Structure 1
Amino acid sequence: MKDKDLSGGQKSVNNGTVNGQVVMDQEPLQLKRNIGLVSGIAYIAGMIIGSGIWITPQGVLQNTGSVGLSLILWCVGGVIAMFGMLTYCELISVIRKAGGDYAIFFKTLGRVPGFLFIWTAEIARNPSTRAVQTITFATYLSDFLDVCGSPIVIKKLIGASALILVCIVNCYSTLLGARVQVIFTTIKVAALFMIIIGGLVAIAQGQVADLPTGFQGSITAPSNIARALLSVGFSYGGWNNLNYVFEEVKNPRRNIILSAILGTILVTFVYIMTNLSYLALLTRAEMFQSEAVALTWGQKMLGPAAFILPLAVMISTLGSMNGSLGTLTRGPFAAARDGNWFDVLCFISVKRYTPMPSIVMHVTIALIFLIQGTVTSLIGFLSFFTWVFSGLASICLIILRFKEKDCPERFKVPILIPIVFFLMCVFLIVAPIVQNPRIETLYAALFVVSGVVVYIPAFHFKLKPKFLNKIEMYIQMIFELAPSSYVEQ
């Protein structure tokens, strides 16, 4: 097998053992390219279409005050997602490694910024989001089946079981995870098209609710627009996740870009038409009173068949969970391969070619958050870092224009795109803070800075208890794991 260099690089030897037998002149052990254009679009659309479109439209409408302005902001959200996606496409065409934002910060800004991103994302933001997704799934399922009165313990057990099942799928095979993602995305998009068609039928029958009011009552205060865009941005979240699996995409220079553009266009169209359908059947008052606007729409339009929508929400949530494990877990994997995170997380299965330790650690932390049950508040004060890191990534693009001038594989976008995207990120960060300063924002900043306390002894000076080496050795032997190498494509 290959030994891991303490500096973070990989060195290979010509022999090793697998299942007790010596293997000579092995090919480099690396991730397999199992994600094509269709599954790439499915990852993009499936990651974006999560719980947001089912629950946030009324919040956007409340903050904008009018039907017309709310629809415009849903269009703006699609433009922001597209600009962000194109910005990341150029970045990944230069970086050409798995790891998403981490790989960008590591190459452009250095080891410490890269580590602080992984520290924030993997210890708090991503696993806590996964915990919220699991409890959302469990709540809908337990309420749908009326399981034992749906106590919180039952919901947590259901959520944990769903998360472990998705974990097994992604540990078993990247190809299986991609196929599952295609199925889940197809079902959730079909459910949204059912809403769209229902709305068009209602409009054809003369049911237009408050659509004719247009821009009456519009609220144009910057703070309200920012809050509305944050809700829209939450619904569009996940547009950059395909960049995490660069090394697993077939013909990535073509398929990542096409998946990004086609997936974002598909989602933007579906979101705008879905909101039109909501507004065709529900008045503003009905939407404001609804906790889940899609369910309220279903009860009014579908009657006894309204149970279809809770099923769609469950499938949508499962799809987001599956997509997250199939993409975001490549961040800590890439960091560990660079010697910038815990060594064992750069191991992959010698049989399955999946980053099993990284996936399992991600799920383990998510289960801890799920058991504690204090996830929502944590997400509340960490969510703005999504826009902080995205804005920082757009700055990295400008830096790389000068740092990597002669990159023949660069997918170059007009410089105005990352500049506009950066300004939108700044607006979404600053406007809510100016309007409503919260102590949680300070806590979030302190959490990120606290990563330096971990980085200095563990990764700068590489202080590591000897017993951890033995634990890693036994994990590697039991689960048949080996460090991965990177071969530039």
Structure 2
Amino acid sequence: MGDTSLKRRREDEKSIQSNEPKTTNLQKEVGLLSGISIIVGTIIGSGIFISPKSVLSNTQAVGPCLIIWAICGVVATLGSLCFAELGTMITKSGGEYPYLMEAFGPIPAYLFSWTSLFVIKPTSFAIICLSFSEYVCAPFYSGCQPPVAVVKCLAAAAILFITTVNALSVRLGRYVQNFFTGAKLVIVAIIIISGMILLAQGNTKNFKNSFEGSQVSVGAISLAFYNGLWAYDGWNQLNYITEELRDPFRNLPLSIMIGIPLVTVCYILMNISYFTVMTTTELLQSQAVAVTFGDRVLYPASWVVPLFVAFSTIGAANGSCFTAGRLVYVAGREGHMLKALSYVSVKRLTPAPAIIFYGIIATIYIIPGDINSLVNYFSFAAWLFYGMTILGLIVMRFTRKDLERPIKVPIFIPIVMTLLSVFLVLAPIISEPALEYLYCVLFILSGIIFYFLFVYYKFGWAQRISKPVTMYLQMLMEVVPPEKEPE
């Protein structure tokens, strides 16, 4: 009976895709290849070119460093499998938002949308674009740091470009994603192949006694995981566009099972390539690991490295914008944000207001430009809600047994992921206490005030303010409400 029901749902998906005329709703235009591209393109961004130094600084040896990278890939895969069950059980866009709504109710869901809209997603977008800007500027300021104003302006221009592309067309955003994913795989391949050739030629001295001098303290290991998982972040991005996936019951888990192991293998091989060229001391002293690798291996063609690293980061930023815009869209549709943010462009059939809003907030984060603080804010808040969402999966195993689950992971996987999330949230606070974590918690909790003022009680004066703003934005941007809610 379950197989028949699942087949019927798949047939309905295909029927909707092929027979119904296009309406002012999000369209099912993302297939398996594009799904893999979104996962790979979003995960492989600036992280693999920044995090190796941070992971090594906390482990102090080659052996544990490579083990950390492998375990991080396993963690990302297990987390994605939990999200695959959630995504095929609750087939709404918006990632964690609809899952928290179903499991715990509106307040946790609102706090997630509040934190994501103003902390998690825009800070990630800003970090990636700042990294892009720094790599682009590096060849023009050889031997010195590029001016801060130049880096920030170029980062803001990158945000404007990506936001515009994704607001204009889902198909154009998908093509851009596929192109930059291909481009970033070129630089990944160059680094891996060069490293493997050098390794085959006998450059193995840096791998001897690979565990000598390693740190095994809980604090050091936890911070190494923190930085490694930052490079893997994006493993859940496909859940933000479930409504736009063709045959999500097949393509969602397949994209995960192909995309994340591919990223894990690439990350491990890239780190091995780095260590064939640099000792641990040289890698820790490098300002840009990939650039140092290129200078030593690819000279005089070393300019290829910063160029393709720039492609890699802009591709990750595009994938982040493509998916995060849908979170804003869903929050507006549920009445948790300004209603206009849930509107769809009449001509483009994209959630243009949501994407533009996301780009504006990310641009604001460019102004302070402190990447380290943004990474701390992002990681702390992200793993707090990852843990809550996976805990919701466990809760719904008992409270929502009626929901159909085309994918059902063994219960120990979400239990392990929930415990790991608790560890990752508490570990950096215990290891290196900082006021930034307190500020982040206070900002998250402040969302409760806005929830009761603007969502729960819906005071008349708030409605009088928001209604003309919504009407003005609707006329200015030529957007309308979706014609029907997804079932």
Residue in structure 2 matched with residue 192 of structure 1 by the alignment: 188
Q: Distance in 1 between matches of 2:165 and 2:252?
A: 23
Cα offset for 1:279? 1.0
1:182 pairs with 2:178: yes
Q: Is the 8 A contact 2:46 2:132 kept in 1?
A: no
Residue in structure 1 matched with residue 426 of structure 2 by the alignment: 430
Residue in structure 2 matched with residue 484 of structure 1 by the alignment: 482
Residue in structure 1 matched with residue 218 of structure 2 by the alignment: 222
Residue in structure 2 matched with residue 91 of structure 1 by the alignment: 86
After alignment, is 303-312 or 208-217 more displaced? 208-217
After alignment, is 179-188 or 63-72 more displaced? 63-72
Q: Distance in 2 between matches of 1:221 and 1:138?
A: 35
Cα offset for 1:474? 2.4
Q: Is the 8 A contact 1:208 1:281 kept in 2?
A: no
Cα offset for 1:456? 1.0
Q: How does 1:115-264 map to 2 (within 5 A)?
A: 115-146=110-141, 150-264=146-260
Deviations 1:354-383 (A, max 9, x none): 100000001111112223445642442342
Letter aligned with residue 341 of structure 1: M
Q: Is the 8 A contact 1:336 1:342 kept in 2?
A: yes
- Give me the CA root mean square deviation: 2.0
| CA shift in 2, pair 1:302/1:408, >3 Å | same
Corresponding residue SS for 1:405: coil
Residue in structure 2 matched with residue 102 of structure 1 by the alignment: 97
Residue in structure 2 matched with residue 45 of structure 1 by the alignment: 40
Q: How does 1:19-58 map to 2 (within 5 A)?
A: 29-58=24-53
Q: TM-score, normalised by structure 1?
A: 0.91
Cα offset for 1:252? 0.8
Letter aligned with residue 148 of structure 2: I
Letter aligned with residue 449 of structure 1: L
Q: Is the 8 A contact 2:124 2:378 kept in 1?
A: no
Residue in structure 2 matched with residue 326 of structure 1 by the alignment: 322
Unpaired runs of at least 5, structure 2: 1-20
Q: Distance in 2 between matches of 1:405 and 1:120?
A: 29
Cα offset for 1:138? 2.0
Q: Distance in 2 between matches of 1:196 and 1:374?
A: 31
Q: Distance in 2 between matches of 1:451 and 1:308?
A: 45
Letter aligned with residue 248 of structure 2: P
Q: How does 1:459-478 map to 2 (within 5 A)?
A: 459-463=455-459, 464-478=462-476
Cα offset for 1:485? 4.7
Corresponding residue SS for 1:246: helix
Residue in structure 2 matched with residue 365 of structure 1 by the alignment: 361
Cα offset for 1:129? 2.3
Q: Distance in 2 between matches of 1:371 and 1:275?
A: 32
| CA shift in 2, pair 1:451/1:375, >3 Å | farther
Q: Is the 8 A contact 1:382 1:441 kept in 2?
A: no
Q: Distance in 2 between matches of 1:220 and 1:61?
A: 12
Q: Is the 8 A contact 1:44 1:263 kept in 2?
A: yes
Q: Distance in 2 between matches of 1:201 and 1:486?
A: 56
Unpaired runs of at least 5, structure 1: 1-25
Q: Distance in 1 between matches of 2:95 and 2:227?
A: 23
Letter aligned with residue 61 of structure 2: S
Cα offset for 1:216? 2.0
Cα offset for 1:121? 1.1
Q: Distance in 2 between matches of 1:198 and 1:467?
A: 60
Q: Is the 8 A contact 1:209 1:282 kept in 2?
A: no
Q: Is the 8 A contact 1:88 1:243 kept in 2?
A: yes
Deviations 1:386-440 (A, max 9, x none): 1111111111001111122123343101111111111221221222222222222
Q: Distance in 2 between matches of 1:209 and 1:302?
A: 20
Deviations 1:124-157 (A, max 9, x none): 2221222222222222223324599943333322
Q: Distance in 1 between matches of 2:378 and 2:138?
A: 29
Q: Distance in 2 between matches of 1:204 and 1:372?
A: 45
Q: Distance in 1 between matches of 2:237 and 2:305?
A: 26
Residue in structure 1 matched with residue 107 of structure 2 by the alignment: 112
1:443 pairs with 2:439: yes
Aligned residue pairs, count: 465
After alignment, is 407-416 or 279-288 more displaced? 407-416
Q: Is the 8 A contact 1:65 1:217 kept in 2?
A: yes
Q: Is the 8 A contact 2:130 2:369 kept in 1?
A: no
Q: Distance in 1 between matches of 2:107 and 2:423?
A: 26
Residue in structure 2 matched with residue 301 of structure 1 by the alignment: 297
Deviations 1:2-23 (A, max 9, x none): xxxxxxxxxxxxxxxxxxxxxx
Letter aligned with residue 444 of structure 2: V
Cα offset for 1:470? 2.0
Report % sequence identity: 39
After alignment, is 48-57 or 213-222 more displaced? 213-222
Corresponding residue SS for 1:469: helix
Q: Distance in 2 between matches of 1:61 and 1:100?
A: 32
Corresponding residue SS for 1:232: helix
Residue in structure 2 matched with residue 5 of structure 1 by the alignment: none
Q: Is the 8 A contact 2:180 2:315 kept in 1?
A: yes
Q: Distance in 1 between matches of 2:310 and 2:284?
A: 23
Q: Is the 8 A contact 1:133 1:321 kept in 2?
A: yes
Q: Distance in 2 between matches of 1:282 and 1:372?
A: 33
| CA shift in 2, pair 1:152/1:58, >3 Å | closer
